[in-house]
Amino acid sequence: MKFTELSEYHFRPGLVTEWRAVPGTDPGALSDDPRPPSYLQEAHLRRVVVDREVHIRAPTWLATVFDLPGPVDPVALNAAFRRWIGRHETLRSAFRHSAGELRLRTLAPEDVAVRSNVVGDMAEGAEIARYLDDLFDRATDPLHWPSYAFATVSRADSTTVCLAFDHVNVDGYSILLVAHEIHELYAAEVSGTPAALGEVGSYVDFGSAERTQAAALGGDHPVIRRWREFLGPAGDGLPRFPAEVRSVPGEPARQSGRCEWLLAPGEADAVEAACRAGRGTLFTGVLAAAALAGAELSGAPVFRTVVPFHTRSKTWWSASLGWYIGLAPLELTLPEHGGFHDLVRAAGRAAREVRPMAKVPFARVCELLGAPLRPRFVLSYMDLRATPGSQRWPEWNARACYARVASRDEVYVWINRTHEGVYATCRYPSSGHAAEHVPRYVDAIRRILGEVAVSGDLAIEAPVPVAV
């Protein structure tokens, strides 16, 4: 399942219908809940509040798009949506900002209803994409419930289902779970048989427990000390991309996106085998390749980035929708002599050392450091082959999507492994030097991994910056 902007999905013409969750018989069914937001949710929502005060509305939704077979059965799909919302408490929770405080309100599963509104036939895929982009920008307000919206594009042979959620509800992995669950629930409603889905835990409970644990930490905690060391004496922010990417001065510009394959399945297997020979994994091989590519751009032997790790530490959270992500600072020094295997081993040591740091919410780290830190260069890796339904993603035409983002200096690179191979998605400033430097960086990662796939190793030489 690729991860792109919605405009890159090739919609087929069809009848567009919007679907919205609403309280059932009682409009006031959302009731006050004493549980607090997670640290991630609170940081996100407070940033939204500040933006609104200066009349900035920046959409922060994530979405998924996939096909169901045949023309839609609206009754069955409505029931599937209701059961699915009832299954995940984060979709039945809302936050209200009042007098500087964020108050949680929740809705019981039986109090959820779903209403549909037929928009009409649309004959052009680009028209459908523009319509949905606008709908999701308007209808995923994290300060209102529901902070998500659904739509379908129905035709005689298939129905495309589109679901978008503000980030307050989901992380990138949550989005990948949706297609399988909706398929199972919809098929169960059509056939009258139970859906083959296990129970899941509540992200609202997770956030409350996480906050209790993290609130007990102090500034002398080892994780906080490690972050302080990573930031350096000046504490002047997190790592930047290895080459200049900042856009021209002024307001943040819309970012560009790029998604492309790095390795075919056989090549991915070959790289993984080479990494195992270096006592590593494909993840540590990706880190090694990213460090080498960074050295080619910068000429510096030290690679620094921020790496996300999931925080789904219990089995009942493995299929739960929520924002189960922590961040860790990663620093990797290229060896003066040796080969790719040596760098893979070093990457493995670095990743093992910092992974436990992701258990401390990044917003709590910022509180204890007294610094409003903002990640500027993030490198993510996920192996998605064990994700429920992943083998059928091509059949379902499944895609993960993200809202259009504006930033002068952020570079995010997501590298994912699926049954179809390994691909990279990145977003970066659309003006300035980024349009040249970031694609060159991704190309270098592809080349390095490709050489390892062929030879099983790669000699490392002193980094010399490539003319850019």
Question: Is the model's pLDDT at 149 over the cut of 70?
Answer: yes
Judgement on whether residues 240 and 199 belong to the same structural domain of the protein:
no
- Confidence band of 98 (pLDDT split at 50, 70, 90): confident
Specify the pLDDT at position 25.
Answer: 72
Same-domain pairing of 295 and 356: yes
Inform me whether the pLDDT recorded for 344 exceeds 90: yes
pLDDT level of residue 462 (50, 70, 90 thresholds): low
Tell me, yes or no, whether 282 and 414 share the same domain: yes
**Backbone torsions φ then ψ of 199, nearest 5 degrees:** -70, 155
Joined together, the tokens standing for residue 346 give 């070093």
Structural domain count of the chain? 2
Which one is predicted more confidently, 276 or 54? 276
Is residue 356 within 8 Å of 217, Cβ to Cβ?
Answer: no
Same domain, 178 and 227: no
49 and 181 share a domain?
yes
Q: If pLDDT is split at 50, 70 and 90, which confidence band does 463 have?
A: low
* 149 assigned to some structural domain: yes
Does 185 map to a domain?
yes
59-91: pLDDT as tens digits:
999 999 999 999 899 999 999 999 999 999 999
Residue 30: which CATH number? 3.30.559.10
Tokens coding 110: 């039986």
* Rounded Cα–Cα distance for residues 419 and 383 (Å): 9
The reported pTM is 0.95
Residue that finishes a domain, picked among 174, 205, 236: 205
Nearest CA among 344, 317, 299, 314 for reference residue 466: 299
Tell me the CATH number at 437: 3.30.559.30
Q: Which of 98-102, 135-139, 202-206, 324-328 has the lowest mean pLDDT?
A: 98-102
Q: How far apart, in whole angstroms, are the C-alpha atoms of residue 418 and residue 394?
A: 10
- Domain membership of residue 397 (yes or no) is no
Domain that holds residue 363: 219-387+404-455
Cβ burial 282-297 (10 Å sphere, 16+ → b, else e): bbbbbbbbbbbbbbbb
Single residue among 157, 178, 205 that ends a domain in this structure: 205
pLDDT of residue 235: 62
**pLDDT recorded at residue 446:** 98
**430 exposed, middle or buried (CB, 10 Å; 0-12, 13-18, 19+)?**
middle
Q: What is the mean pLDDT of the chain?
A: 93
Tokens at 422, concatenated: 């390994």
Residue 468 lies in a domain: no
Comparison of pLDDT for 462 and 198, the residue scoring more? 198
Q: Are strands 411-418 and 377-383 parallel, antiparallel or unpaired?
A: parallel
Mean pLDDT of 419-425: 98
For residue 47, give the nearest of 168, 153, 169, 184 by alpha carbon. 168
Given 205, 236, 266, the domain boundary residue is 205
Are residue 124 and residue 223 in the same domain, yes or no? no
Residue 349 CB coordination number (10 Å): 14
Same domain, 201 and 287: no
Q: Do residues 272 and 416 share a domain?
A: yes
CA-to-CA dists, residue 82 to 88, 94, 186, 331, angstroms: 10, 17, 11, 45
My answer on whether 196 and 244 are in the same domain is no
Q: What is the pLDDT of residues 27-53, one digit of tens each?
A: 677 899 999 999 999 999 999 999 888
Kindly state the average pLDDT of the residues 130-146: 96
Residue 467 covered by a domain: no
Q: How confident is the model at residue 433 (pLDDT cuts 50, 70, 90)?
A: confident
Domain assignment present for residue 320? The answer is: yes
pLDDT over 90 percentage in the chain: 84
Higher pLDDT: 433 or 380? It is 380
Residue 65 main-chain phi, psi, to 5 deg? -135, 135
Q: What's the rounded mean pLDDT across residues 104-127?
A: 96
Q: Is the pLDDT of residue 466 over 90?
A: no
> Are 195 and 51 in the same domain?
yes
- Is 399 within a domain? no
Higher pLDDT, 57 or 96: 96
pLDDT by residue (tens digit) across 200-249?
999 999 999 999 999 999 999 999 999 999 998 756 679 999 998 876 66
* Residue keyed to tokens 């949506």: 81
Which pLDDT band, with edges at 50, 70 and 90, does 378 fall under? very high
Residues 308 and 428 in one domain: yes
Give pLDDT tens digits for 257-289: 999 999 999 999 999 999 999 899 999 999 999
Structure tokens at 331: 């620093």
* Order of strands, sheet of 399-402, starting from the edge strand that comes earlier in the sequence: 2-5, 399-402, 61-69, 158-166, 148-154, 14-23, 112-122
What confidence category does residue 460 fall into, taking pLDDT thresholds of 50, 70 and 90? confident
460 found inside a domain:
no
pLDDT digits 0-9 by tens, 435-444: 899 999 999 9
For the residues of 360-415, what is the DSSP string, one character each? S-HHHHHHHHT------EEEEEEE-TTSTTGGGHHHHT-EEEE---B-SS-EEEEE
235 & 326 share domain: yes
Average pLDDT over every residue of 187-206 = 95
Q: Please give the pLDDT value at position 341.
A: 94
Strand, coil or helix: 1: coil
